[in-house]
């Protein structure tokens, strides 16, 4: 029995010419609408920090790159203690605070507005797992959750973890993995207290409420109970923040005596662990962004000789589960959109197809239960959930949902013998909803719909899905939500013609951005914005090929799709030139850097969160935590001259030139192990040096946090309020500061 608070991946463990924009023509001959926009904020006399330029260059493949801001990379990283570096980062923060001070009342008003849409004393729908029922809750005003259980047969509530207590006195706190032993007595959990994602694990005896002396430090990934609850399997982190081992810790023994169950020699791979559906096999998976390899070992005897399912083959991904001694395999070995296969444990590499791959159905995963199995996938970009049956896999029971556009999936289904499946559902106008699906009757029972205390009327909003032609003819889907009375709202705000539109995307690693619901988004939409999600290549929204067309030597499709989607929305009258605002984080922050290099005039404001903008510099530095594992996504410029040239052609930091750029807000985390703080710092320094406009450029670095920004639901929401305040301010839609 495992209390799954963590959702970390298992199958593949964690892991010089400028491009000129193509001219885009409107699809009709109508005269462009006249637009009256609010006045932009005037520049102020506050002077921005100016980073020193220090000679530094490097040469690869006969090409020399000058990088005078390399000194912002503290070479003692992950320790950042260079006084000059810290002084510059703090100066940027002071500049951010000085400019945002006048917007503080507006930011606070937005925060109050957003907070009013959140039910403060909220809890998850309880779910049975073995002898107990589990749930978590927020208390009114609390930043963090409490996690509870009670006996299924009846009895008092039992507090498992109080995150608020664990977070007391800390600037940052995040709960990582948490799992209950199969006998229900012990809780293993891990915490991160500075945003570096190097977790520390403790074990709580739930019978006494006391913690055992065992402590596992500097780890990543899940905590898996094995050997009849006498041991834990975990993944230690290397100094370079890579998980290359699966280790076994026997409770009550010194950590120094922990046994290595598997060690990965390829630095580009990462190792993860988990249990099969019947919890009788330990899965040890290793992989990078395109290749997998899996081993199985009996959970009761984890030091036994592992069974290798199939040796790694470049480009072949697979994950496995086991039911009644039979191996089930999800793989892309013979079809790009994956197939489902079976094999005997005696011949684990002999895969026999159960469900073949299909061009029109993207199989994204499967789950095994006692009397049936479930497959999940997407068809035309829309989530699909189907029940299948062991005696007749061709017989299909699809689960139907009421809207034409939505996102849905399996939720918390911890038991092997399930008669009702817990599902999650939402759309751009429908708040998050929890269903139970009755396997026998096919009925959907609504257990909970997200409550919005300040009120929400879905009938005031409309959602649309349009297709926009990219420059190569590919049709890019875009999901849009806006108020039905948008024109009247804009008129009252003094805006004539098409109003502002916020465009969001990610576009990397095959991560689809679903058309889901957001309460904070309403603070833009209710002020007359249209809010759009561009389902660009690089994600797998339309299938695995959609992802492959946005990586390696096709990476620029991602940037072109986003630019062209915005241009297409302008042509269709949703917005106008200079009234598109955009945001993205991490690889989506790289996207922001690329689009403003390509087509800056389209955008009225840009927010780039922890942006991966020094793509070339990072991919050349194999000492950095993620670099070896990222070469399959971006290319290896160290060994491949063509990859070097291609990355250089779009790397946002390298392609900054002297021209006008839109107003921008950039964020970073000093402890971020994924996108290191100096990438946005160098990028902002270079932009300040060469850009030819007077538009505002702000950078905020969280000094005690990492990739995800500040922790705690209210701290995180406050950062969203800052982002929206900046956007509305730069679009001339913020209240004028009161005169002192």
Distances (CA, A) of 685 to 49, 228, 387, 596, 675: 8, 56, 54, 16, 17
Residue 121 to residue 123: CA distance in whole angstroms: 7
Nearest-angstrom CA–CA distance, 631 and 288: 9
Torsion over CA: 687, 688, 692, 697 (sign): positive
- Residue recorded with tokens 């008003």: 109
In this structure, the strands spanning 501-504 and 475-483 are unpaired
Q: Are 270 and 15 in contact (CB under 8 A)?
A: yes
Structure tokens at 82: 């260079």
- Report how far residue 684's alpha carbon sits from residue 91's, in angstroms, rounded to the nearest whole number: 13
> Across-strand partners of 250?
231
Q: Which residue has the tokens 């520049």?
A: 43
Of 318, 378, 315, residue with least CA distance to 543: 378
Beta strands 146-151 and 158-162 are antiparallel
Dihedral sign (CA 611, 88, 172, 607): negative
Contact 508, 551 (CB under 8 A): yes
- β-bridge partners, 174: 192
Q: How far apart are the first and last CA of the chain?
A: 61
Please answer whether residues 514 and 407 qualify as being in contact, where contact means their C-beta atoms are separated by less than 8 angstroms. yes
- 8 Å CB contact between 478 and 446: no
Active site residues: 586, 672, 707
Sign of the CA dihedral with 566 first, then 571, 576, and 577 last? positive
CA distance readout (Å), 334 to 318, 337, 351, 358, 474: 11, 9, 11, 10, 25
Decide: helix, strand or coil at residue 153. Answer: coil
Phi-psi domain of 19 (left: phi exceeds 0; alpha: psi -120 through 50; beta: other): beta
Which of 264, 175, 256, 263 is closest to 223 using CA atoms? Answer: 175
- Which candidate, 521, 402, 535, places its Cα nearest to that of 476? 535
d(CA 33, CA 130): 62
Beta carbons within 8 Å of 84's beta carbon, 6+ residues apart: 71
CA atoms of 610 and 630, how far apart (whole Å): 17
Q: Do 319 and 328 touch, CB atoms closer than 8 A?
A: no
Give the integer Cα–Cα distance in Å for 72 and 259: 40
Can you tell me the distance from the alpha carbon of 342 to that of 327, in angstroms, rounded to the nearest whole number? 6
Using left for φ > 0, alpha for ψ between -120 and 50, and beta otherwise, residue 161 falls in beta
Rounded CA separation 499/574 (Å): 7
Residue 409, token pair as written in the block? 């999936």
Residues forming a β-bridge with 58:
65
CB atoms within 10 A of CB 313: 12
The answer to whether the beta carbons of residues 610 and 626 sit under 8 Å apart is: no
Cβ-based neighbours of 370, under 8 Å, separated by 6 or more: 416, 417, 418
DSSP for 596-613 reads HHH-GGGEEEEEEES---
């Amino acid at each position: 029995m495992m209390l799954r608070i963590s959702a970390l991946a298992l199958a593949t463990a964690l892991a010089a010419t400028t491009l000129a924009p193509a001219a885009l023509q409107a699809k009709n001959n109508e005269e462009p609408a006249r637009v009256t926009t609010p006045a932009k904020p005037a520049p102020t006399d506050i002077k921005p920090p100016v980073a020193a330029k220090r000679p530094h260059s490097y040469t690869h493949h006969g090409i020399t790159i000058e990088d005078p801001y390399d000194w912002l990379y503290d070479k003692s990283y992950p320790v950042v203690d260079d006084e000059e570096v810290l002084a510059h980062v703090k100066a940027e923060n002071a500049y951010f605070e000085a400019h945002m001070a006048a917007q503080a009342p507006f930011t606070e008003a937005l925060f109050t507005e957003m907070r009013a849409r959140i039910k403060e004393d909220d809890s998850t729908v309880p779910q049975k797992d073995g002898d107990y029922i589990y749930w978590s809750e927020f208390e009114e005003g609390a930043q963090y959750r409490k996690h509870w259980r009670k006996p299924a047969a009846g009895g008092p509530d039992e507090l498992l973890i109080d995150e608020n207590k664990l977070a007391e006195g800390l600037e940052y706190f995040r709960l990582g993995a948490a799992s209950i032993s199969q006998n229900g007595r012990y809780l293993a959990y891990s915490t991160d207290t500075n945003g570096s994602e190097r977790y520390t694990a403790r074990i709580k005896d739930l019978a006494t409420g006391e913690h055992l002396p065992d402590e596992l430090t500097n780890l990543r990934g899940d905590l898996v109970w094995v050997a009849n609850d006498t041991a834990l399997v975990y993944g230690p982190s290397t100094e370079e923040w890579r998980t290359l081992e699966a280790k076994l810790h026997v409770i009550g023994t010194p950590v120094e005596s922990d046994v290595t169950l598997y060690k990965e020699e390829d630095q580009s791979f990462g190792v993860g662990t988990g249990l099969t559906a019947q919890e009788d096999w330990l899965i040890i998976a290793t992989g990078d962004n395109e290749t997998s390899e899996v081993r199985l070992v009996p959970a009761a005897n984890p030091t036994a000789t592992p069974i290798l399912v199939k040796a790694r083959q470049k480009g072949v991904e697979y994950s496995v589960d086991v039911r009644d001694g039979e191996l089930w395999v999800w793989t892309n070995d013979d079809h790009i959109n994956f197939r489902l296969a079976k094999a005997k444990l005696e011949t684990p590499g002999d895969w026999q197809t159960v469900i073949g791959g299909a061009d029109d159905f993207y199989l994204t995963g499967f789950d095994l239960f006692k009397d049936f199995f479930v497959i999940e996938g997407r068809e035309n970009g829309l989530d699909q959930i189907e029940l299948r049956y062991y005696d007749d896999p061709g017989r299909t029971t699809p689960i139907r949902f009421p809207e034409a556009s939505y996102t849905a999936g399996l939720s918390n289904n911890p038991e092997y013998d399930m008669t009702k499946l817990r599902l999650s559902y939402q759309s751009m106008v429908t708040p998050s909803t929890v269903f139970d699906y009755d396997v026998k009757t096919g009925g959907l029972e609504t257990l909970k719909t997200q409550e919005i205390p300040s009120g929400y009327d879905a009938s005031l909003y409309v959602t649309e899905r349009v297709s926009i032609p990219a420059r190569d003819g590919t049709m890019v889907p875009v999901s849009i939500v806006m108020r039905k009375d948008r024109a009247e709202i804009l008129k009252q705000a003094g805006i004539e013609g098409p109003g502002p539109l916020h465009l969001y995307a990610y576009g990397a690693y095959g991560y689809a951005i679903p058309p889901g619901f957001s309460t904070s988004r309403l603070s833009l939409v209710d002020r007359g914005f249209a809010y759009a999600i561009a389902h660009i290549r690089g994600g797998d929204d339309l299938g695995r090929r959609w992802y492959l067309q946005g990586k390696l030597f096709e990476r620029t499709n991602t940037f072109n799709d986003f630019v062209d989607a915005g241009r297409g929305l302008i042509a269709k009258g949703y917005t106008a030139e200079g009234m598109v605002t955009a945001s993205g984080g991490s690889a989506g922050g790289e996207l922001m850097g690329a689009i403003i290099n390509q087509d800056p005039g389209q955008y009225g404001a840009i927010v780039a969160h922890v942006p991966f903008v020094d793509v070339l510099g990072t991919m050349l530095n194999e000492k950095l935590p993620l670099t070896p594992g990222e070469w399959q996504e971006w290319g290896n410029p160290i060994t491949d001259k063509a990859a070097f040239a291609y990355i250089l052609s779009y790397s946002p930091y390298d392609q900054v030139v002297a021209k006008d750029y839109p107003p921008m807000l950039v964020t970073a985390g000093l402890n971020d192990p994924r996108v290191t703080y100096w990438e946005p710092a160098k990028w902002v320094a270079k932009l300040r040096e060469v850009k030819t406009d007077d538009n505002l450029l702000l950078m905020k670095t969280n000094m005690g946090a990492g990739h995800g920004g500040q922790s705690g639901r209210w701290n995180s929401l406050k950062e969203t309020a800052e982002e929206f305040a900046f956007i509305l301010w730069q679009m001339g839609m913020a209240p004028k500061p009161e005169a002192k």
